[in-house]
């Protein structure tokens, strides 16, 4: 009976109700998008950093991983000490250098990653084979490399290192065999990156002191030990920067503070729009139907029931609106994500809008709560109106 | 230019030998309370040895959106000084080239690129367009978000205008019954709606101006920059006002037309 | 009459505050009546009939004086208790019918039943019984807005009867109806009275007043005459 009253009352003004639902849907969509945006970047960044389970990064003092061309010196003894730590499951060094190759008539530049294939958190093999730990002649390429060069698995290719900028003559050459095609987890869209044994890239790179790494990725045995291990490394090796994924995410967040604030402001605005819509429409509806509410009270409905009826109208409006809005929000999020992920140099694995059941539910619940609370004022108006007087006024 | 880390900044303890001079930006001077004549220890890396410099000038860099948000500070050196500090030897990051009048930057850059390896020449226009790529993305994003916001507010406007006219149902009935013509009533309602939309638009422009001013104040303080973050251009005002006035009047007219087309008695009944 | 009164009013005063002006609608009405009575309240326009009826039904509170509904002083009842009293013990009939326009005839009657916690099957059966009682079985599923005035009033009567109230209060129930339709409603009231319902009817209608066993005439907010009709 209650629902018949509520639903049919809403259908009395179909155009009006449809507009309100639509308005709430757009507000809910914007809210969902903004909730996704506020948490999404961090979530996808952290997911990307943790994608192969390495929770700690060591980088040259004062830098973030791959932020500069600086390197960590004395890497062999450092790795030795890290391997002795009982909490550490794996420590994979990475060295990055510009490498080149002659492809047909032109000189193509690549990012060369030197890795330890047995403990690496940098790539996933797409086709072909991974390198073995002792393989110093193997090469890993990515799809953008294959597309640019035409190299395929089994090809022997010559890489040039330490290119002299004046003469374009290579300081060192090395012929390697393509073993597999991989996806580099941190590469930007279309970035051309190669991978080879750590020692090979150390030799090819422009490093006067050869025993260096650009970064070390560390896998700790249990997540609980991450902070402890990070603190221990920090005190034992003051010359390196130690960052857990959590601290990296924090720094990332600081850089994207703009999006955070934008999402906060827009989420607030969309909530305000939703609340205003439900509030105004129901206030007007309640005023129009003041006589009906007085009759309901006269035939014995309690004040609380009147409050319930009006709130239920608000709830139905927002519920339908937020269901529509969730769909709309997911669609627009994909569209907005496509725009933002075209930032130059952004790792392809990062998204700004990450759909997740909990954020979706959160946004829906927030808009529902807002909508129902927006109905509180008109509900109060309806319940508080004096019966006798309202009936008299309605009869005039 | 690689990031410089100001490791230790000391106010002028009188140095015996003359120190090489640097210029620091105003924000840095304010942040670390240093002035012209003070000396400054700088190092490219925390573990590298520091070198001492004397502040010869404090300058205000041109606001640059690309660097404003990074929270870095700028120091300017004489070229040999920074080369020495970085032990970079005889190299530079960039050389600015001005062509003789009448020579196109594109063709000059092309010829330079053919001349030798070791550098890449770009016309300034190309660099400008590449470095503004990030901002192009952000602005595309803003436009998309703006579109959604416009949709939400347009619907809100539709609702309000519809209700505004429907509220006058009884008035319309009374006017019809005492013999006032449909067109007159319609005109009266449209006039009313126009009035409401106009006042609303004016308030909206005021609100936008206030929000923009607050945004600018907050962000300019936060990032210590003179950059303007929010511009309320005449285009935007025109779009906002045009949209709300146009949509408002359109919907108002639509609802008013519906109202005057109904039979007066039916109006009466639905009003009761 | 030995039964305890359904309503007991002593020196009931009701004033309204309009802007700075005080309007006295009732100046001290004393009245009591027992279960099973059929009472007509008459009087010129503005004499306070509707005001009195609203007080008797607990829709409003007196400014001063003593008023007992079903043996309980009204000031001792909370808002929720008053609502329950209206739901279960009092039935209202209005001049303007006041049905819920979005509900059908049957649903309008079921509404107070549902509110009183009657189960769906049971309340549908009772609503249909009541529709039969007022002679509207055929219109059960018509929306209130699709009925004529007389039909609406009959549905309103059925709604008032839904929870078997001890007291029916009607304010000019025939005011909006033509003579023939009005007569049908009066016949219905006679039947209700015969079935033992206590009826208080405010009316300008002489025919209606004549049918009541007791007539209370209000004048200027006071009881002017209170007479038992000789039949
Ligand atoms: N809510 C109110 N506010 C102000 N004055 C009121 C209010 N209700 C009633 N009155 C006044 O109280 C007096 C009695 O009104 P009431 O409606 O009881 O008269 P009535 O006898 O029912 O008249 P009618 O036969 O015209 O229905 C009138 O003067 C009326 O103007
Ligand atoms: Mg009256």
Q: Where are the domains of chain B?
A: 2-93, 100-131, 134-271
Q: What is the mean pLDDT of residues A41-49?
A: 87
Q: Are residues A38 and A76 in the same domain?
A: no
Q: Are residues A71 and A211 in the same domain?
A: yes
First-to-last C-alpha distance (Å) of chain C: 18
Instruction: Tell me the chain B residues in contact with residue A332 when contact means C-beta distances shorter than 8 Å.
Output: 144, 148
Atom of ligand 1 nearest to the CA of C48: 18
In angstroms, rounded to a whole number, what is the distance separating the alpha carbons of residues C24 and C18?
11
Q: Are residues A169 and A274 in the same domain?
A: no
The predicted pLDDT at position A175 comes to: 95
In angstroms, rounded to a whole number, what is the distance separating the alpha carbons of residues B162 and B197?
12
The alpha carbon of residue C80 is apart from the nearest alpha carbon of chain A, in Å, by 6
Contact between A232 and A85 under an 8 Å Cβ cutoff? The reply is yes
| Domain assignment of residue A244, yes or no | no
Q: In this model, does residue C149 exceed pLDDT 50? A: yes
Q: Are residues A34 and A75 in the same domain?
A: no
Q: How far is CA B32 from CA A158, A310, B182, in A?
A: 52, 60, 75
- Find the CB nearest A336 among B141, B160, B163: B141
Pairing of strands C198-202, C38-42: parallel
| Domain assignment of residue A105, yes or no | yes
The predicted pLDDT at position B272 comes to: 40
Nearby residues of A208 by Cβ (< 8 Å), 6 or more positions away: none
Instruction: Tell me the chain A residues in contact with residue C95 when contact means C-beta distances shorter than 8 Å.
Output: 395
Task: Read off the pLDDT of residues A308-357 as tens digits, 9 standing for 90 and up.
Answer: 999 999 999 999 999 999 999 999 999 999 998 888 878 888 888 988 89
A281 reaches B (C-beta below 8 A):
yes
| Domain assignment of residue A249, yes or no | no
Q: Are residues A188 and A135 in the same domain?
A: yes
Identify the three-state secondary structure at position A319: helix
| Phi, psi dihedrals of residue B141, rounded to the nearest 5° | -60, -45
The predicted pLDDT at position B2 comes to: 35
Q: Are residues A286 and A145 in the same domain?
A: no
Domain termination site, one of A238, A263, A286: A238
Question: Which of B11-15, C44-48, C96-100 has the least mean pLDDT?
Answer: B11-15
Q: Are residues A138 and A212 in the same domain?
A: yes
Question: Which helix (H) or strand (E) covers residue A7, if one does?
Answer: helix A2-11
Range(s) of the domain holding residue A178: 62-238
Q: Are residues A198 and A269 in the same domain?
A: no
| Domain assignment of residue A54, yes or no | no
In angstroms, rounded to a whole number, what is the distance separating the alpha carbons of residues B139 and A340?
10
In angstroms, rounded to a whole number, what is the distance separating the alpha carbons of residues C14 and C25?
6
Q: In this model, does residue A167 exceed pLDDT 80? A: no
| Domain assignment of residue A26, yes or no | yes
Q: Among candidates C78, A141, A284, which has minimal Cα distance to B164?
A: A284
Q: What is the mean pLDDT of residues A148-164?
A: 92
Task: Read off the pLDDT of residues B189-202 as tens digits, 9 standing for 90 and up.
Answer: 899 889 988 999 99
Each as own residue / partner, the long-range contacts of residues C203-209 (CB below 8 Å, 24 or more positions apart, any chain) are: C203/C40, C203/C41, C203/C42, C203/C172, C203/C173, C203/C174, C203/C175, C204/C42, C204/C45, C204/C172, C204/C175, C205/C172, C205/C174, C205/C175, C207/C182, C207/C183, C208/C40, C208/C173, C208/C174, C208/C182, C209/C40, C209/C42
Q: Are residues A169 and A315 in the same domain?
A: no
Q: In this model, does residue B1 exceed pLDDT 50? A: no
Q: Among candidates B80, B199, B134, which has minimal Cα distance to A256?
A: B134
In angstroms, rounded to a whole number, what is the distance separating the alpha carbons of residues A119 and A137?
18
Closest residue in A to C56 (Cα–Cα): A388
| Domain assignment of residue A247, yes or no | no
Q: Which residue has the higher pLDDT, C170 or B189?
A: C170
Q: In this model, does residue B186 exceed pLDDT 50? A: yes
* Chain B interface, Cβ < 8 Å to A: 2-3, 5, 45-47, 69-70, 116-119, 130, 133-134, 137, 140-141, 144-145, 148-149, 151-153, 155-156, 158-160, 162-163, 166-167
The predicted pLDDT at position B268 comes to: 61
| Burial (0-12, 13-18, 19+ Cβ within 10 Å), B40 | buried
Region of B102 please: left (phi>0), alpha (psi -120 to 50) or beta: left
Question: Which of B18-32, B108-122, B202-216 has the least mean pLDDT?
Answer: B108-122
Task: Read off the pLDDT of residues B58-94 as tens digits, 9 standing for 90 and up.
Answer: 988 877 766 666 667 888 888 888 877 777 667 677 8
Contact call for B145 and A266, based on CB within 8 A: yes
Q: Are residues A185 and A220 in the same domain?
A: yes
Q: In this model, does residue B132 exceed pLDDT 90? A: no
Q: Are residues A232 and A362 in the same domain?
A: no
Q: Among candidates C61, C65, C25, which has minimal Cα distance to C45?
A: C25
User: From the candidates C14, C51, C57, C59, which should be mutated to test the interface with A, based on the most A CB atoms within 10 A?
Assistant: C59
Domain count, chain A: 2
In angstroms, rounded to a whole number, what is the distance separating the alpha carbons of residues A96 and A123?
14
The most distant pair of C-alpha atoms in chain B lies apart, rounded to whole Å, by 102
* Tokens read off for C9: 């009013």
- The verdict on the CB of residue C54 being under 6 Å from ligand 1 is no
* pTM for the full predicted model: 0.81
Q: Are residues A191 and A129 in the same domain?
A: yes
Instruction: Tell me the chain C residues in contact with residue A12 when contact means C-beta distances shorter than 8 Å.
Output: 102
Q: Among candidates A291, A286, A305, A313, which has minimal Cα distance to A382?
A: A286
């Amino acid at each position: 009976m209650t629902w018949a009253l509520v639903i049919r009352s809403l259908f009395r003004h179909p155009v009006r109700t449809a507009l309100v639902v639509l308005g709430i849907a757009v507000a809910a969509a914007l809210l969902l998008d903004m909730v996704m945006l506020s948490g999404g970047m961090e979530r996808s960044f952290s997911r990307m950093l943790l994608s192969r389970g390495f929770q700690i990064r060591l980088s040259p003092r004062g830098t973030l991983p791959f932020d500069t061309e600086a390197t960590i010196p004395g890497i062999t003894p450092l790795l030795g000490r890290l391997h002795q730590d009982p909490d550490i499951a794996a420590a994979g060094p990475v060295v990055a250098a510009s490498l080149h190759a002659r492809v047909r008539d032109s000189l193509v530049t690549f990012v060369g990653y030197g890795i330890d294939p047995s403990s690496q958190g940098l790539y996933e093999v797409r086709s072909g084979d991974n390198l073995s730990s002792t393989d110093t002649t193997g090469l890993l390429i990515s799809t953008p490399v294959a597309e640019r060069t035409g190299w395929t698995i089994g090809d022997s290719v010559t890489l040039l290192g330490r290119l002299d900028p004046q003469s374009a003559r290579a300081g060192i050459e090395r012929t390697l065999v393509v073993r597999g095609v991989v996806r580099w987890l941190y590469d930007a869209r279309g970035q051309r990156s190669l991978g080879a044994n750590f020692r090979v890239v150390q030799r090819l790179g422009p490093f006067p002191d050869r025993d260096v790494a650009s970064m070390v990725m560390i896998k700790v045995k249990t997540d609980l030990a991450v902070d402890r291990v990070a603190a221990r490394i920090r005190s034992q090796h003051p010359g390196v920067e130690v960052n857990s994924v959590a601290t990296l995410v924090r720094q990332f967040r600081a850089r994207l503070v703009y999006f955070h604030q934008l999402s906060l402001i827009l989420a607030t605005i969309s909530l305000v729009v939703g609340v205003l819509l439900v509030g105004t429409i129901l206030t007007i509806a309640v005023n129009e139907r003041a006589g009906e509410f007085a009759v309901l009270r006269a035939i014995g409905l309690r004040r609380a029931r009147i409050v319930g009826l009006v709130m239920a109208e608000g709830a139905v409006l927002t519920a339908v609106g937020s269901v529509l809005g969730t769909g709309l929000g997911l669609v627009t999020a994909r569209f907005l994500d496509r725009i933002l992920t075209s930032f130059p140099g952004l790792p392809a694995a990062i998204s700004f809008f990450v759909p997740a059941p909990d954020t979706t539910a959160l946004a829906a619940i927030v808009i529902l709560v807002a909508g129902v609370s927006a109905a509180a004022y008109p509900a109060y108006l309806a319940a508080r109106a004096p019966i006798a007087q309202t009936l008299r006024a309605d009869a005039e | 230019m690689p990031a410089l880390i100001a490791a230790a900044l000391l106010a002028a303890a009188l140095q015996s030998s003359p120190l090489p001079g640097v210029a620091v930006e105003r924000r840095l001077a304010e942040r670390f309370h240093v002035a012209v004549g003070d000396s400054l220890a700088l190092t490219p890396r925390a573990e590298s040895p520091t070198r001492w410099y004397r502040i010869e000038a404090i300058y205000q860099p041109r606001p640059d959106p690309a660097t404003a948000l990074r929270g870095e500070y700028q120091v300017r050196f004489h070229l040999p000084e920074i080369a020495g500090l970085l032990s970079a030897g005889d190299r530079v990051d960039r050389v600015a080239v001005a062509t003789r009048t009448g020579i196109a930057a594109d063709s000059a850059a092309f010829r330079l690129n053919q001349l030798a390896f070791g550098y890449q020449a770009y016309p300034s226009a190309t660099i400008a367009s590449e470095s503004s790529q990030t901002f192009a993305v952000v602005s595309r994003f803003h436009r998309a978000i703006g579109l959604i916001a416009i949709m939400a507010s347009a619907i809100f406007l539709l609702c309000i205008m519809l209700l505004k006219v429907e509220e006058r149902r009884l008035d319309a009935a009374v006017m019809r019954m005492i013999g006032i013509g449909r067109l007159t009533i319609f005109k009266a309602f449209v006039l009313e709606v126009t009035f409401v939309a106009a006042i609303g638009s004016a308030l909206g422009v005021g609100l936008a101006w206030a929000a923009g001013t607050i945004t600018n104040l907050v962000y300019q303080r936060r990032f210590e920059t003179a950059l303007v973050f929010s511009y309320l251009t005449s285009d935007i005002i025109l779009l906002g006002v045009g949209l709300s006035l146009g949509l408002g009047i359109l919907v108002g007219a639509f609802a008013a037309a519906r109202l005057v087309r109904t039979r007066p008695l039916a109006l009466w009944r639905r009003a009761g | 009459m030995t039964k305890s009164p359904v309503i007991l009013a002593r020196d009931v005063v009701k004033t309204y505050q309009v802007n700075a002006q005080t309007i006295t609608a009732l100046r001290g009405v004393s009245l009591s009546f027992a279960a099973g009575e059929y009472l007509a309240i008459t009087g010129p326009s503005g004499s306070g009939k509707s005001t009195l009826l609203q007080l008797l039904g607990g829709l409003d509170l007196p400014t001063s004086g003593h008023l007992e509904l079903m043996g309980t002083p009204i000031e001792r009842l909370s808002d929720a208790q008053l609502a329950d009293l209206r739901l279960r013990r009092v039935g209202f009939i209005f001049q303007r019918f006041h049905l819920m326009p979005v509900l059908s005839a049957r649903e309008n009657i079921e509404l107070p039943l549902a509110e009183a916690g009657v189960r769906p099957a049971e309340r549908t059966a009772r609503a249909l019984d009541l529709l039969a009682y007022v002679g509207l079985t055929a219109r059960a599923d018509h929306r209130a807005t699709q009925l004529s005035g007389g039909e609406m009033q009959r549905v309103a009567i059925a709604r008032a009867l839904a929870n078997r109230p001890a007291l029916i209060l009607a304010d000019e129930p025939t005011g909006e109806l033509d003579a023939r339709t009005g007569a049908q409603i009066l016949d219905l009231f006679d039947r209700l009275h015969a079935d033992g319902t206590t009826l208080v009817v405010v009316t300008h209608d002489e025919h209606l007043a004549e049918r009541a066993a007791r007539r209370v005439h209000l004048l200027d907010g006071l009881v002017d005459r209170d007479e038992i009709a000789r039949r």
